Structure 1
């Protein structure tokens, strides 16, 4: 038994804890949040995988059935990445000892706002160059410069709601019935209408806590996983069940529509919610050996920067003649994985180079 423990600690990179000690959630101690760093890195790769898969997913009529299904499955596997990103922010920010005042709010908002402005200008210039699209700086206040930047606008909104979300979290923390009520209400308002048409919900104007719900779920799940002994296995199974339902519904809806249908991919759908909750809870139990901890931290530190640039890098890789030739020789699934790895690797390399020149995260992310 002693030999097994020695081998496990010495050579196995990834382990899981069935419970989390209270000290494991103190975000001020870097050693204790390696699970969060690993979660962030996996989420950013998942987002790259989603956007890479999309180029194949919408070729429903031209790809073989197996090829298209491969793209749909990879997309389903990664679809929880965006909600997990949001839950991670909620888990780390919604704490009893966190103080939200004008200074702290200004610091958090500027950490997002300035990079958003600079990267928006970059993408507006890029689109003007490749497509001749005109723009004005005021456009930043009207529409995202590139499709993936919607996420940054959404995070700005959540940061503005932080004081209210913290008050709600503290109230829920003391009352389990309130937790169940909020979860049920969130599912009815946001998840159910994706599959069941309920016009009355629009009339009631109950749209305040959409992504804020995921923000609260992140902290709620972290509290749950540290205070009980639910086996990690079941969190993994919940994620896989959500992925399976997402994939099957996507195949069914697309077959019925005779074209790619992404209804089941919506971030508020119950199936994506299941995958996100299971995947995030699974990540909170993740532990890494010291041999790769430093590298994961370095990658995690660059994730926001990688998020901003990855669409530009993906465009260059996707339309590169050599990449196109090579990937056409491979099955669709392998092509998507290879392109995603290339994009991720290039983004990491560029991010490290940028940080050598611009060390301040508040500038470019």
Structure 2
């Protein structure tokens, strides 16, 4: 317990629950009219939780890029990358099997071959996309570690500014007038080094290592709140204008999500970094954090089982059904993960 970073554990627990909020909210989301009461409630909850995946990436960067924590190439591949690959193939097969059982689909000698090929091609259960993305970041981690070790603070800030510009700001502005006429010119620069989730990966280390004065933090918190409001109101506006759900502002690299993620990370870090929690709270948080990877992997099976039992986000008023269902999935996923981890050799490696 002494070596735990409590605010990181808390962020991981919150992010795990937020993923479940998103997936509960997403059920029926595309079928409802954006003007309906139910759609707007689901949009509200979904918008509140969009920071979850970026936080997962930032936490990985926070630990993997720490120069004081040795990460050899051998350890990276034989432990971290191997674990994610094993989980990807195991759960890819499990979810495909589960889907065919539910849909009474064909199960013949080609099942394993077809599933294996689909996993190789990235065509597996939707929430497993995260594993492909994090594998890519793990593979380039040795290069990032060299950069971080040699970089000054302003060098890292330069990377983050360029990353934010090309991965978040420009792709967001491209949707809107008059930027849609100007932004393609800049996007065509194709600055691949900083594109994608690498900016969150590096940002996680930066925010864990460096602080801000109170004035800057207040500004970031205000931007974070504005980011949430823009997601909620902007997504509703774009969807009503389109006449059907428009998820443009939901994407994890949009500016609105980006600033919300940064603000939440900083707030939780500052609030819990030097706060003393009792032993029971610390133990509970650390265990859930430890199980979070397995809970993420198993939770969508729990969600669909509950749906088949007639318990889903529109079973009753979604103001109540979404959080109640998400809490139920969270608890069941925790115990399911706890059970799976007891399987000799395999359990801890696939969760």
Within 5 A, what are the aligned runs for 1:289-308?
289-290=277-278, 291-308=280-297
Equivalent in the alignment of 2:177:
none
The question of 1:190 aligning with 2:167 is answered yes
Structure 2 residues not aligned, in runs of 5+? 175-179
Instruction: Give the 3 Å change call, closer, same or farther, for CA 128–257 of structure 1 in structure 2.
Output: same
The question of 1:71 aligning with 2:60 is answered no
Equivalent in the alignment of 1:143:
122
Instruction: Give the 3 Å change call, closer, same or farther, for CA 201–232 of structure 1 in structure 2.
Output: closer
How far did residue 222 of structure 1 move? Answer: 1.3
Equivalent in the alignment of 1:23:
none
How far did residue 201 of structure 1 move? Answer: 4.8
Instruction: Give the 3 Å change call, closer, same or farther, for CA 50–98 of structure 1 in structure 2.
Output: same
Inter-partner Cα distance in structure 2 for 1:273 and 1:88 = 15
Instruction: Give the 3 Å change call, closer, same or farther, for CA 231–175 of structure 1 in structure 2.
Output: closer
Instruction: Give the 3 Å change call, closer, same or farther, for CA 301–144 of structure 1 in structure 2.
Output: farther
Equivalent in the alignment of 1:49:
21
Inter-partner Cα distance in structure 2 for 1:229 and 1:116 = 42
Equivalent in the alignment of 1:85:
56
- Give per-residue Cα distances to partners, 1:44-79, cap 9 Å, x unaligned: 000111111111432332x76332221111111100
Instruction: Give the 3 Å change call, closer, same or farther, for CA 328–119 of structure 1 in structure 2.
Output: closer
Alignment RMSD, CA only? 2.4
TM-score by length of 1: 0.83
Inter-partner Cα distance in structure 1 for 2:156 and 2:210 = 12
Inter-partner Cα distance in structure 2 for 1:85 and 1:343 = 19
Give the secondary-structure state (helix, strand or coil) at the position aligned to 2:13: helix
Inter-partner Cα distance in structure 2 for 1:329 and 1:123 = 25
Give the secondary-structure state (helix, strand or coil) at the position aligned to 1:357: coil
- Give per-residue Cα distances to partners, 1:298-333, cap 9 Å, x unaligned: 111110001111111111112322x25xx6563222
1:256 aligned to which of 229, 241, 254: 241
Inter-partner Cα distance in structure 1 for 2:305 and 2:257 = 30
Instruction: Give the 3 Å change call, closer, same or farther, for CA 362–102 of structure 1 in structure 2.
Output: farther
Give the secondary-structure state (helix, strand or coil) at the position aligned to 1:204: coil
Equivalent in the alignment of 1:337:
323
How far did residue 233 of structure 1 move? Answer: 6.0
- Give per-residue Cα distances to partners, 1:204-251, cap 9 Å, x unaligned: 3323431011000011111223x7556876654443221111111101
Instruction: Give the 3 Å change call, closer, same or farther, for CA 273–95 of structure 1 in structure 2.
Output: same
Equivalent in the alignment of 2:89:
117
How far did residue 281 of structure 1 move? Answer: 1.1
State whether residues 235 and 282 of structure 1, in contact with CA within 8 Å, keep that contact through their aligned partners in structure 2: no
Instruction: Give the 3 Å change call, closer, same or farther, for CA 264–241 of structure 1 in structure 2.
Output: same
The question of 1:213 aligning with 2:199 is answered yes
Equivalent in the alignment of 1:103:
74
Instruction: Give the 3 Å change call, closer, same or farther, for CA 288–149 of structure 1 in structure 2.
Output: farther
Give the secondary-structure state (helix, strand or coil) at the position aligned to 1:57: coil
The question of 1:240 aligning with 2:240 is answered no
Number of aligned residues: 330
- Give per-residue Cα distances to partners, 1:2-56, cap 9 Å, x unaligned: xxxxxxxxxxxxxxxxxxxxxxxxxx9424x111111101000001111111114
The question of 1:357 aligning with 2:335 is answered no
Give the secondary-structure state (helix, strand or coil) at the position aligned to 2:333: helix
Give the secondary-structure state (helix, strand or coil) at the position aligned to 1:342: helix
How far did residue 274 of structure 1 move? Answer: 0.4
How far did residue 129 of structure 1 move? Answer: 2.4
State whether residues 43 and 81 of structure 1, in contact with CA within 8 Å, keep that contact through their aligned partners in structure 2: yes
Inter-partner Cα distance in structure 2 for 1:166 and 1:267 = 24
Equivalent in the alignment of 1:24:
none
Instruction: Give the 3 Å change call, closer, same or farther, for CA 289–233 of structure 1 in structure 2.
Output: farther
TM-score by length of 2: 0.86
Instruction: Give the 3 Å change call, closer, same or farther, for CA 255–30 of structure 1 in structure 2.
Output: same
